[in-house]
Each structure stands twice: as C-alpha cells, then as structure tokens.
C-alpha cells in the first residue's frame, strides 16, 4: 500500500471488488483442449467481515517477506484444501463456516502465439473473485452453475499464480437465501480447468429435435472470435455431413432426419462432431420429444408416468458434495434399483457428470435453480440473478436428452410479486429453450390445508366418515408452468400442525390422517397435469420400530407412510409422476434432534452410507408394479 493509504480504514475494506462478469459459458469442456487444475490447493480461512487490502497485493507476488517486513497473511503454508470439494467436510473449523476462504495454487503454462486461454470452474459456492498473477479476471455469484473467465492477457509463460477468494455467505437477496434445508457447503466444489482455445472457437451449440417433431433436427451454433465462417457438422450414424454457415457469430441449420429416439428403455446417444478450423468438438447427443398433451406428459409421442426419486448433490459415505462421474453413477444406480425412469435433481443445478450419467442410464431429469422458499421476489435484481442462473444451466445442458423439465423454483410463498417473478422467469426459460417443459414445486399448505381440515379432517376426528377428500389447488403458479408440482407431506407434517392447532392428541391425529390418506384427491384447475415433487417421512436407519406403533423416525413408520402415500397416488386423476423426498439422508443445519438427526435430514430411503431402509423396498415394488403395466 502507498503512503497515502496508511490511514487505518484504507488497510481494510468491506466492499467487494467491482463485478467482472465472466465470459459466456464454454459448452462441452470435456471435449476441449483442457488441463485439469484439480488437486491440493493452499488455502487460508479469512473469517473477518472485512478483507485485508494488502492481501491482494500479496496475491500479486510469489513472495517471501523480506527481513524486517511485517506480513500477517500467508497463502503458502498451513491449510490445504482438496479441489474439487466442499470445505465443510475437510476441516472441522469449516463445518458450519459461513465466510471467506482464500485458495491459491500455481500452474505452469507454455503459451503459444494466437492461442486463447480460459479458466473454467464447474461451480464455486457462493461468491467468487478470481485473480491471475494479481489481476482480477472474473467474479461470479451463484453456487451451482459453471462459469469461466478469459485469462489470455494475464497468463505468463511458465509459472502462474491463481488466487480465488470464495465467500459462501448468503444474503436475503441471494438465490438461495440463507434459509435452506441443506448444508451450505462452501468452496470450489467442482472441477477446475485451464482451457486452451484457438483465436476463434465454437462457444456454444444446441442440437435437438424441433419441439414436438421427431423427424426434424434444429442446430444452432455460436462462434467466439470470428463473426463468420463454416462449421462442419457430422453425425455419421445418421449420415449427416453438413456445413453450418456462420453470420454475425451465429449459425442455424435444420435437417430432416428421423433419428432413433432416446428413451429410458432405450437411451440411444449419437456421436456428434463439430469441426471448426483446428478445433473438433465431439459430443454424445440423444434425440427425443417431450410435451404435454391430453393432461399427460408425452415422451416421443406416448404418455409416460414419471417414476422418480429426488436427490441432493451429496456423495454416498459422508463425503459431502458429489463432484465426480463415479459418484454420480453410484447415486443413480440406486435410482435404477428403485425401478425409476426419472430423477429430480434438487434444489439446484447438479454437476455436469450427473447429467451425462442420466443420459447414458436412461433417466429423465428435472433440473432446477435454487429459487427456494422466501426469496425477495419483488427485487428486480433477484429476477435478473434467476435469469442468469437459468441461462448458465441451460447453456451447459441444453443438449442433454435426459432433461425434460426446467424447474423454476421450490416451495415459494404465494404473493403477487412472486407470481409476476415466475411469469417473467417462465417466459425467459421458454425463450432460451422451447423444447422442454417448465415446472415448479408449489408450497402445498396454508389455505388448502385449512380448508381440508374444516371440511374433512376435523369431522373425521369426530368420527364422521367422508368418502372423498377433494383438495383444490389455488396457487396460480400451477397455471404459469407446463406441469404443476406439489410437495405434500401427508403422513408426516400435517397431522402435527393440525393437532397442535386444534389441541388434539398427536398420536390420534396421526392415525386419523393415515387412515384417510387414500380418500384424498387433488384437483388442479384447467386440467393441468401435475406431479408429486415431494412426499416422504424421516427414519433413522436401524431404528426398526414395528408397523402399527407409529414410532416417529422408525423405519417401520417411514414404510407405513410410503404405503399410505401409494394408496393416495392411486386415487389421483391427472397425476403424471412422483419424486418422493428423498434418495439419501443429507446434511442440514435445521435438523437438530440430538442422537437421532444430528444435522441430518433423515427422509432418505437409504442412509448416508447407502444402507437401504424398509421404505426403499416399498417404493421399489410399487414402481416395479407400474413398470409392468
Ligand atoms: C420441503 C423442501 C425440502 C425439505 C423437505 C423436508 O418440501 O422442499 O427442501 O428438505 O421439505 O422437510 O425435508
């Protein structure tokens, strides 16, 4: 720092640096000339709510303090962290940590004339500042989508210094807000690559069937650098060898061809290659159509029931954030064992390996951004953030046949601002990708629960028998999206709320609820098809219990809830799928019952170590029955 900044306040700053928007997303990094920067990085926990200005100057220098020089930061010795990986599971001081951690590594480059260089991050949760040789090259907020920064100018021949400042602190105007029922894993949680590119290159492309047409492929390609040129598209197995003409940076091509369609039963993927000058991108792309027709979801023109399960992005065996292809396969193999044809990747965009694996295994996907619970829906900046997260998700995954739903959000409180927010976001998603369906999980509760209690539940508590419990969904969000999604927890939460509201015996209340679940029938206006995007119950693996005892957190009780939920499912008209909550127990700061939960949400059908609970087999057999129909 210079003499003028000796005044104390100049040594510290709470203001983050100016935003430096990342470069447009590079698609399909696995097919690029990339060098992995994964591995063990130096790190330093920086818990102060301000940042030492001179830390950045320090970042500029590969430096050892000179004799007599006072330095109070150190990114060379001490803590190291594995990248990719959340910091929470790597150091006890960081388990619940919300704040800043500085990462640093060196890397070696042999720069070639005319080449361009990008740093690509699979995700950093939540806010990132990226410095190369002391210069800020990019900032990004959003913990679950990829971003990349061009570093061509800042890179030096030989050794380079990469410093990344990560802050996982969330504010009320972030997406999500600090209120989440999952642990806010911080850090460089996904792969890091240095990508070498020619001076002009294919930045992004989409190769998909036209909406609702199984014999017409639309190709769009964006070039970075040159504004015109020719790109060779080859899909040998379809005998496609065509040139795409690029004008003003963009190219478009339509091809009449009838490919073998991708489906869960036959997840056909085609080898696709795009050649532009010295760069050849190869990809594996599936072709399928998905649409809503006659109150059903049609895959390749035929109605399909979505036999799903929800997942968080947590690896099996207490390893925290999943980030590898192997971990993705390990999780999705359980979904296959459940006879699933579909998975809900909650509540945020998962790593790219999950989507590749779903494409290969034949699992349809609900993919979402973490518009979760109580966002500042009236804040225009929050809508802009949501649109950006959607663009990042769609630009990375728009060629993944497995994705059938883009989900706009989860369980958000109803208000006019929130409805306007979703209407705008839905329009934006449709403009980015008209080939997929939109959905969003409603928060089923409030008004509908009160009405149900008055009309049916309390009379049932008085011993009245009412054969049909009609529940009318009022949430306008159901009309904004293509397929409505309802999170409902009959058998778990509701009888508790109602018992305490009406001063009823909780055990009696629970039994009455279970006895009547099969009578419940949801009605979504305008015959909108709907899914149950969540239902379930918690159970501690090994706490067996016995059916009929209604022991909360026993496996037997969780299995009972699943049996009753299956009866409820069979009673629905217009239901097109279910994703029970959830495949695996997952970490949450909200689940505090010591000795039972211990910061784990226990609604998993398998424990964190992958042990199957009784309810796993109840769902598996039900889905087998559906698959056999
Ligand atoms: C909600 C929410 C989930 C949460 C679940 C639960 O439906 O969407 O994120 O984990 O309920 O209560 O376990």
Mean pLDDT to the nearest integer, 26-30: 97
11 pLDDT tier (thresholds 50, 70, 90): low
Show Cβ contacts of residue 320 under 8 Å, excluding neighbours closer than 6 positions. 85, 86, 88, 89, 185, 314, 587
How does residue 64 score in pLDDT terms, banded at 50, 70 and 90?
low
Tokens representing 76 are 């060379």
CA distance 385 to 438: 18
**Percent of the chain surpassing pLDDT 90:** 87
Is pLDDT at 452 greater than 70 in this prediction?
yes
pLDDT at 12 over 80: no
Handedness of CA 534, 536, 539, 541 (dihedral sign): negative
Q: How far is CA 295 from CA 305, 403, 501, 525, in A?
A: 12, 20, 36, 11
Instruction: Give the C-alpha separation, 287 to 49, whole Å.
Output: 50
Question: In this structure, what DSSP letter does residue 532 have?
Answer: E
Residue 85, sorted as left (phi over 0), alpha (psi -120 to 50) or beta, turns out to be left
Judge if the beta carbon of residue 581 lies within 6 A of ligand 1.
yes
- 3 pLDDT tier (thresholds 50, 70, 90): very low
CA of 461 to the centre of ligand 1 (A): 27
CB 353 within 8 A of CB 325: yes
Instruction: Name the average pLDDT for the chain.
Output: 94
Please choose from 179, 313, 375, 411 the residue to mutate so as to test ligand 1's pocket, defined by most ligand atoms within 8 A of CB.
411
Q: Which residues contact 62 (CB under 8 A, 6 or more apart)?
A: 106, 159, 161
Q: Which atom of ligand 1 is nearest to the CA of 536?
A: 13
Ligand 1 center to residue 174 CA distance, Å? 19
Q: Which residues face 160 on adjacent strands?
A: 107
At 71, the pLDDT band (50, 70, 90 cuts) reads confident
- Token digits of residue 344: 């809900």
3-class secondary structure, 206: strand
Q: From ligand 1's centre to the CA of 513, what distance in Å?
A: 20
pLDDT digits (tens, 9 = 90+) for 331-360: 999 999 999 999 999 999 999 999 999 999
Please say if the pLDDT value at position 404 is more than 90.
yes
Q: Which of 266, 273, 270 is nearest to 285 (CA)?
A: 270
Cβ–ligand 1 contact at 181 (below 6 Å): yes
CB of residue 191 inside a 6 A radius of ligand 1: no
The answer to whether 398 touches 359, Cβ cutoff 8 Å, is: no
From ligand 1's centre to the CA of 489, what distance in Å?
Answer: 9
C-alpha distances in angstroms, 408 versus 298, 399, 418, 456, 554? 21, 19, 11, 32, 34
Q: How far apart are CA 299 and CA 293, in angstroms?
A: 10
The residue whose C-alpha atom lies closest to atom 7 belonging to ligand 1 is 487
pLDDT at 72: 79
> Which residue, chain included where needed, has tokens 């909406």?
211
Say yes or no to pLDDT of 474 above 70.
yes
pLDDT band for 1, please (50, 70, 90 cuts).
very low
Give the pLDDT band of residue 2 (cuts 50, 70, 90): very low
The residue among 20 and 311 whose pLDDT is bigger is: 311
Per-residue pLDDT, 4: 45
> Is pLDDT at 451 greater than 80 in this prediction?
yes
Q: What is the pLDDT averaged over residues 216-226?
A: 97
pLDDT at 9 over 80: no
Q: What pLDDT, on the 0 to 100 scale, is given for residue 61? A: 56
Reported as a single tens digit per residue, the pLDDT across 475-494 is 999 999 999 999 999 999 99
| Cα–ligand 1 centroid distance for 69 (angstroms) | 53
In tens, the pLDDT along 320-337 reads: 999 999 999 999 999 999
Task: Flag whether pLDDT at 119 surpasses 90.
Answer: yes
Of 62-76, 339-353, 381-395, 597-611, the poorest mean pLDDT is in 62-76
Q: What is the 3-state secondary structure (H, E, C) of 27-85?
A: CCHHHCEEEECCEEEEEEEECCCCEEHHHHHHHHCCCCCCCCCCCCCCCCCCCEEEECC
Q: What pLDDT, on the 0 to 100 scale, is given for residue 59? A: 55
Cβ of 487 closer than 6 Å to ligand 1, yes or no, is: yes
CB 389 within 8 A of CB 145: yes
The stretch 528-534 carries a mean pLDDT of 98
pLDDT at residue 583 is higher than 80: yes
Q: Say yes or no: CB of residue 174 within 6 Å of ligand 1.
A: no
472 or 65, which is more confident: 472
pLDDT at 465 over 70: yes
Please name the residue whose Cα sits nearest to atom 3 of ligand 1: 181
Nearest-angstrom CA–CA distance, 285 and 271:
7
Ligand 1 pocket test, pick from 601, 602, 604, 605 with the greatest ligand atom count within 8 Å of Cβ, gives 601
Mean pLDDT of 288-298: 97
**587 in ligand 1 pocket by Cβ < 6 Å?**
no
Asked whether 492 lines ligand 1 (CB < 6 A), one says: no
Tell me, what DSSP letter sits at residue 526?
G
Q: In degrees rounded to 5, what are phi and psi of residue 606?
A: -130, 155
User: DSSP assignment, residue 128?
Assistant: E
- What would the mean pLDDT of 251-261 be, rounded to a whole number? 97
How many Cα neighbours within 13 Å face the side chain of 346? 26
What separation in Å is there between the alpha carbon of 252 and the centre of ligand 1? Answer: 42
CA of 536 relative to ligand 1 center, distance in Å: 9
| Ligand 1 near 601 CB (within 6 A) | yes
The alpha carbon of 428 and the centre of ligand 1 are apart by a number of angstroms equal to 26
Q: From the CB of 410, is ligand 1 less than 6 Å away? A: yes
Residue-wise pLDDT for 141-193, tens only, equals 999 999 999 999 999 999 999 999 999 999 999 999 999 999 999 999 999 99
């Amino acid at each position: 720092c210079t003499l003028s900044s000796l005044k104390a306040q100049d040594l510290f700053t709470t203001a983050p640096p100016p935003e430096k928007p990342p470069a447009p997303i590079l698609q399909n990094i696995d097919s690029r000339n990339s060098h992995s920067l994964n591995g063990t990085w130096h790190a330093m926990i920086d818990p102060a709510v301000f940042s030492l200005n001179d830390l950045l100057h320090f970042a500029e220098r590969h430096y050892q303090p000179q004799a007599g020089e006072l330095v109070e930061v150190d990114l060379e010795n001490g803590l190291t962290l594995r990248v990719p990986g959340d910091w929470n599971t790597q150091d006890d001081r960081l388990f619940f940590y919300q704040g800043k951690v500085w990462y640093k590594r060196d890397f070696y480059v042999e720069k070639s004339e005319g080449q361009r260089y990008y740093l690509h991050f699979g995700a950093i949760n939540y806010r990132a500042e990226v410095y190369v040789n002391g210069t800020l090259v990019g900032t990004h907020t959003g913990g679950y989508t990829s971003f990349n920064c061009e570093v061509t100018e800042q890179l030096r021949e030989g050794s380079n210094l990469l410093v990344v400042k990560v802050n996982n602190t969330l504010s009320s105007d972030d997406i999500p807000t600090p209120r989440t029922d999952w642990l806010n894993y911080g850090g460089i949680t996904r792969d890091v690559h240095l990508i070498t590119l020619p001076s002009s290159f294919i930045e992004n492309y989409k190769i998909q069937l036209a909406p609702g047409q199984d014999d017409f492929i639309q190709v769009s390609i964006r070039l970075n650098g040159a504004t015109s040129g020719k790109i060779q598209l080859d899909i040998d197995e379809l005998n496609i060898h065509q040139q795409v003409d690029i004008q003003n940076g963009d190219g478009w091509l339509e091809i009449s061809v009838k490919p073998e369609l991708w489906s869960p039963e036959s997840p056909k993927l085609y080898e696709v290659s795009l050649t532009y000058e010295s760069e050849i991108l190869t990809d594996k792309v599936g072709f399928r159509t998905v649409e809503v027709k006659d109150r059903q979801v049609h895959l390749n023109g035929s109605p399909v029931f979505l036999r799903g399960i929800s997942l968080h992005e947590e690896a099996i065996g207490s390893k925290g954030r999943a980030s590898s292809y192997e971990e993705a396969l390990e999780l999705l193999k359980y979904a296959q064992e459940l006879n699933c044809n579909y998975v809900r990747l909650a509540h945020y965009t998962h790593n790219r390996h999950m989507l590749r694996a779903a494409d290969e295994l034949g699992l349809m996907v609900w993919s979402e951004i973490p518009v979760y619970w109580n966002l500042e829906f009236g804040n225009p900046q929050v809508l802009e953030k949501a649109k950006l997260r959607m663009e990042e998700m769609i630009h990375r995954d728009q060629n993944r046949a497995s994705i059938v739903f883009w989900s706009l959000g989860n369980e958000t409180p109803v208000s006019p601002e929130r409805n306007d927010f979703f209407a705008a976001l839905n329009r934006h998603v449709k403009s980015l990708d008209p080939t997929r369906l939109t959905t969003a999980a409603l928060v089923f509760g409030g008004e509908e629960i009160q009405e149900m209690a008055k009309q049916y539940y309390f009379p049932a508590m008085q011993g009245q028998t009412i054969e049909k419990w009609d529940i009318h969904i009022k949430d306008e969000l159901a009309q904004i999206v293509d397929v409505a999604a309802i999170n409902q927890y009959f058998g778990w939460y509701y009888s508790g709320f109602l018992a305490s509201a009406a001063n009823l015996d909780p055990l009696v209340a629970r039994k009455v609820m279970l006895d009547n679940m099969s009578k419940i029938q949801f009605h979504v206006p305008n015959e909108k098809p709907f899914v149950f995007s969540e239902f379930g119950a918690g159970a501690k693996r090994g706490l067996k219990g016995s059916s009929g005892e209604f022991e909360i957190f026993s496996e037997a009780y969780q299995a009972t809830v699943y049996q009753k939920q299956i009866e409820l499912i069979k009673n629905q008209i217009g239901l097109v799928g279910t994703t029970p909550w959830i495949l695996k127990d997952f970490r949450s700061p909200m689940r505090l019952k010591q000795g039972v939960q211990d910061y784990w949400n226990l609604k998993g059908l398998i424990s964190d170590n992958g042990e199957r609970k009784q309810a796993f087999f109840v769902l598996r057999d039900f889905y087998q029955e559906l698959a056999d129909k």
